Amino acid sequence: MVVGDIATGTDVLVIGAGPGGYVAAIRAGQLDLDVTLVEKDAYGGTCLNYGCIPSKAMITAADVAHEAGNAEEMGIHADPAVDLSAMVDWKDGVVDQLTGGVEKLNKANGVNLIEGRAEFADENSVRVAHGGEGQGSETIEFEHAIIATGSTPIEIPGFSFDDEPVLDSRQALALDELPERMVVVGAGYIGMELSTVFAKLGTEVTVVEMLDSALPGYESDLARPVKKRAEELGIDFHFGQTATGWEETDDGIRVSTEAVEEEAAAEADGGATAEFDADKVMVAVGRRPVTDTLNLEAAGVETNDDGFIETDDRARTNKSHVYAVGDVAGEPMLAHKGSKEGQVAAEVIAGEPAALDYQAVPAAVFTDPEIATVGLTEEEAEEEGFDPAVGEFPFRASGRALTTGDSEGFVRVVADEGSGFLLGAQIVGPEASELIAELGLAIEMGATLEDVAATIHTHPTLAEAVMEACENALGHAIHTLNR
Amino acid sequence: MVREFKLPDVGEGVSEGEIVRWLVDEGDAVTEDQPVAEVETDKAVVEVPAPVDGTVREILADEGEMVPVGNVIITFDVEGEPVEEETEGEAARAASGEPEAEAEPAGDKGAETAVAADEETATPEGRVFAAPSARRLARELGVDIGAVDGSGPSGRVTEHDVRAAAEGGSEPAAATEASGADAGGSAAGSKGAEGAQSGDGAAGGAGATAEASGAAAGGRQVESADRDRTLAAPATRRIAEEEGVDLNAVPATEERDGEPFVTPEAVREYAQAQQEAQAADTEALAKRAEPAEREEREPYRGIRKTIGDAMERSKFTAPHITHHDQVVVTDLVETRGRLKEKAEDRGIKLTYMPLIMKAVTAALKEFPVVNASLDEENEEIVKKNYYNVGVATATDAGLMVPVVDDVDEKGLLQIASEMNELVQKARDRSIAREEMQGGTFTVTNIGGIGGEYATPIINHPEVAILALGAIKQRPVVEDGEVVARHTLPLSLSADHRIVDGADAARFTNRVKEYLKNPELLLLE
């Protein structure tokens, strides 16, 4: 502690006000604990400010523009003009409303909010350096700490986010002018979501991916419709390539790539190296946990080889009074997983019998079409020793999907053959991100195929496809051929 | 491949069984349904049959060992069988002697649905199908949901199943907590203490309200003087008007011409007193309007309800008698004083409890009916030749009774060390359920907080429980003179169905004898 400075005490110190941290703080406040929440940047964290919310806002806006301009089939002729700066202002308004809400909710639940960067001084205290020069610092002593510092985009050699034409996803979402040409490095979900946004707004997009497919984390039949639609939008894919550098040219920049496997590349792309002209390059190759600024050693908290803080089913680290939630606590890096962990950490601290014993974490990719998954795939179910029963229903057999003009994709359910318990589901298609919720609930409730199949679903809706997929697994689907 | 065999749930509400006898040895060939062991539970002795043809690979429990349901007790080598996990469903069928379900004709969906419950055997281990609410309840009640048999569709574990497991399946533990609760009612129960505190709080609140209305009613002599005619200067009348005071109501301090005369000070004083009274009234009313101040409601569930249910069961199943007595323990105090230092040298804290447990065990050996339980189903009195003594312990989570096994076979220091460790584990909630099960008699110390005698509730299905008051100096008559002696009040509750009043008194007398002359324990 600095001489002359007085430490304040708190029951629960939460570091980071993202969806893991602010939820933990609010829940702890609800449970009558004295809570202090330290945030160095903006309430709501990456999710609200630079990730989920702004990207989904931009995806929606881009969809509106794209659909309006491509509805001749429905008899609509329009030529939408996009004012990117106004679109970004609208998106910022949405973000402001949400972050303001987070701040108000925290205050209403009695959470002490402190702006600054926290770093452990020892096992029971942190020093918080307030933002800006000469703003000073303070020491906070805590009984329990919850680390919720999130993650940050990974930089690759040769591409510094400090350079103006090189963008991370956050900067890409804040552009006030549409680039004419953009190279996107990485075909994971962030790369694919934003490539789609820019392509729909009129940018010429080239995607460079090191692996041999788009959305490599997903089953190929889920990723295929997304790649197909992206290609229809004019996105140019180059697989098996790593980006090696960029240079300025007379009319923009030139991004150079190198084949991962020379021979394969020579066949596929006609050479071991390639160059792509662009105005901007966005690097979206993944995210890493933010633990380097915390001085974790002082608290005795350990990280694993990947930099994540390992936690148990109560969100506790190797120090039983220190908890870690959200991205910093490991994969999957999903806001909703972090929020649940935050909630559990707060309840555990308050002595409630909470634990992270969920059966499945849903995930969604907001591409076109959307992909959403929950629980086990057929292969994973087999690996776990189940004899899986699988049912599918294609959206082209869904009346509602046809009326939206978007009938690409399918719902697939995976269940245990003997008992009928639902184990997992994969959806690619319209509103997949919304439809997955029903199947997540079914898995958590220990529902069977029969339970879902026997539940009346509203007609005409996309949700009927969920019911039909379960019926298909039971061998009595009405609107599709049974397997 | 190796086939594991788990101790099946042989009956409703049975959480563990004792391996009475192994009928096979390692290496023996067995055929399906051949009995391999005799297992005794609270309910009965059952033969456990082999589920397969094969040879006994390993026997994993000793004769006489209490084994929780679900623990693997024996493994078999089975030739040529595909690798497959033994499951509880199969184990249960095997134990109950039911034939294995016949294979269903393929492709018949209806038939598959009909046998869906049996097919849970196909569910890999480690995954439990249960709703989040049932999972949370299991955590609340300290139930391992993985060990609960589901009664829902396809074997889904329901909240009801979890409750049944908490109450029935682990009866000893639940009862244990209950007797702890009973002990805590009188003993060092932190919950009890909390209850008392909140009670005080409520009383305090009510007191404050009463005071407030008292002030409103009579606090500062604000009764109206209520005259017909009052003399006052015009300035005084103006003040009265401004303050909204009726002059005839203001107490008169003087008289003029035989009539009451009111001064400006009197008016101001009266106005102020009235305002204060009004404020107090408002405050009192406001306080009355907040129901939380007068009564608070909190849910009756979780461990508290488990304790309550078990107490209720004990009290209404076993007709209780309680025998009270007091023993002079001068020698015990001296003995413990001497031994305590020796124990400390070995890093062990020696309280009176291990000495009392030793004394109780010695007396139990002489009165087996007190170290018994009543098997109501089979109408048998089960007298136990082992002496597992439970020690009621107050914890933040409620009252628990860790059990020190085989007290008769252990020395004082070992008992002290085991008991201290178990009590600490109970307090920090790291204690395992098994460590609170299998008791044959319970001791509870009520002296910690205060009081002399109590009516402890029996830790059912045990048949007796001993409550200890505080050891302190009390007046005792010796040789016709009243002298101060260290005495210990004893309260023994017993199940009057099988323990007569005379048994209770005789047993207590033996305990007293050992406590009065602790050196007698050396003979034990």
Range with lowest mean pLDDT among A106-110, A389-393, B189-193, B398-402: B189-193
Q: Is A446's CB within 8 Å of B140's CB?
A: no
pTM > 0.95:
no
The pLDDT assigned to B436 comes to 86
The pLDDT assigned to B229 comes to 73
Q: How far apart are CA A116 and CA A137, in angstroms?
A: 8
| Strand partners of residue B39 | B19, B46
Residues of A in contact with B140 (CB under 8 A): 353
Query: How close is the nearest chain B Cα to the Cα of A320, in Å?
Result: 13
Q: Which of B121, B122, B130 is closest, CB to CB, to A446? A: B130
Range with lowest mean pLDDT among A70-74, A299-303, B198-202, B312-316: B198-202
ipTM comes to: 0.80
The pLDDT assigned to A271 comes to 64
Could you identify the residue written with the tokens 């890409």? A172
Q: Could you tell me which chain A residue has the CA closest to the CA of B127?
A: A359
Extract the tokens encoding A206: 């080239």
Dihedral angle sign, alpha carbons of residues B178, B182, B184, B185: positive
Q: Is B129's CB within 8 Å of A420's CB?
A: no
For testing contact with chain B, the best of A384, A414, A421 (most B CBs within 10 A):
A421
The pLDDT assigned to B238 comes to 77
Confidence of residue A295 (pLDDT cuts 50, 70, 90): very high
The pLDDT assigned to B175 comes to 37
DSSP 8-class letter at A210: S
Q: CA B399 → CA A256, B175, B457, distances in Å?
A: 70, 10, 13
Other CB atoms within a 10 A radius of the CB of residue A20 amount to 35
pLDDT of residue A321 exceeding 50, the answer is yes
> Does residue B160 have an active-site annotation?
no
Query: How close is the nearest chain A Cα to the Cα of B134, in Å?
Result: 9
Q: What mean pLDDT is predicted for residues A305-329?
A: 95
Q: Is B135's CB within 8 Å of A385's CB?
A: no
Tell the burial category of B38 from Cβ atoms under 10 Å away from its Cβ (0-12, 13-18, 19+): middle
Q: CA B373 → CA B367, B460, B505, distances in Å?
A: 13, 8, 19
The pLDDT assigned to B323 comes to 94
For A187, list phi and psi in degrees, rounded to 5.
-110, 30
Q: Which of A357, A419, A445 is closest, CB to CB, to B155? A: A419
Q: Is B153 on the interface with A (CB under 8 A)?
A: yes
Mean pLDDT for all residues in chain A? 93
Tell me if A162 sits within 8 A of A31, measured CB to CB. no
Tell the burial category of A220 from Cβ atoms under 10 Å away from its Cβ (0-12, 13-18, 19+): exposed
The pLDDT assigned to B312 comes to 86
Q: CA B130 → CA A288, B118, B158, B471, distances in Å?
A: 34, 17, 6, 50
Q: Say which of A66, A238, A336, A459 is annotated catalytic.
A: A459
Secondary structure of residue A183 in the 3-state scheme: strand
Q: What mean pLDDT is predicted for residues A408-421?
A: 95
Q: Could you tell me which chain A residue has the CA closest to the CA of B138?
A: A353
pLDDT tens string A138-151? 899 999 999 999 99
Query: How close is the nearest chain B Cα to the Cα of A453, in Å?
Result: 14
Q: Is A387 on the interface with B (CB under 8 A)?
A: yes
Residues of chain B where predicted confidence (pLDDT) is lower than 70: 1, 8-15, 41-45, 79-125, 169-226, 257, 285-293, 301-303, 397
- Non-local (6+) Cβ contacts of A376 within 8 A are A360, A384, A386, A388, A414, A423, A424
Q: CA A439 → CA A149, A184, A363, distances in Å?
A: 30, 33, 12
The pLDDT assigned to B191 comes to 38
Q: How far apart are CA B75 and CA B88, in angstroms?
A: 14
Q: Is B154's CB within 8 Å of A419's CB?
A: yes
For residue B397, give the nearest of B180, B100, B215 by alpha carbon.
B180
Higher pLDDT among residues B393 and A335, named by residue: A335
The pLDDT assigned to A480 comes to 85
Q: Is A421's CB within 8 Å of B135's CB?
A: no
For A251, list phi and psi in degrees, rounded to 5.
-120, 35
The pLDDT assigned to B218 comes to 39
> Rounded to 5, what percent of chain A is helix, strand, coil?
35, 25, 40
Q: What mean pLDDT is predicted for residues A36-56?
A: 94
pLDDT of residue A463 exceeding 80, the answer is yes
pLDDT tens string A190-245? 999 999 999 999 999 999 999 999 999 999 999 999 999 999 999 999 999 999 99
Share of residues in chain A with pLDDT > 90 (%): 88
Helix axes A189-201, A52-69, angle to 10 degrees: 40
Extract the tokens encoding B484: 């101060």
Residues belonging to chain B: 524
Q: Could you tell me which chain A residue has the CA closest to the CA of B429?
A: A351
For testing contact with chain A, the best of B123, B149, B158, B428 (most A CBs within 10 A):
B123
pLDDT of residue A72 exceeding 70, the answer is yes
Tell the burial category of B501 from Cβ atoms under 10 Å away from its Cβ (0-12, 13-18, 19+): exposed
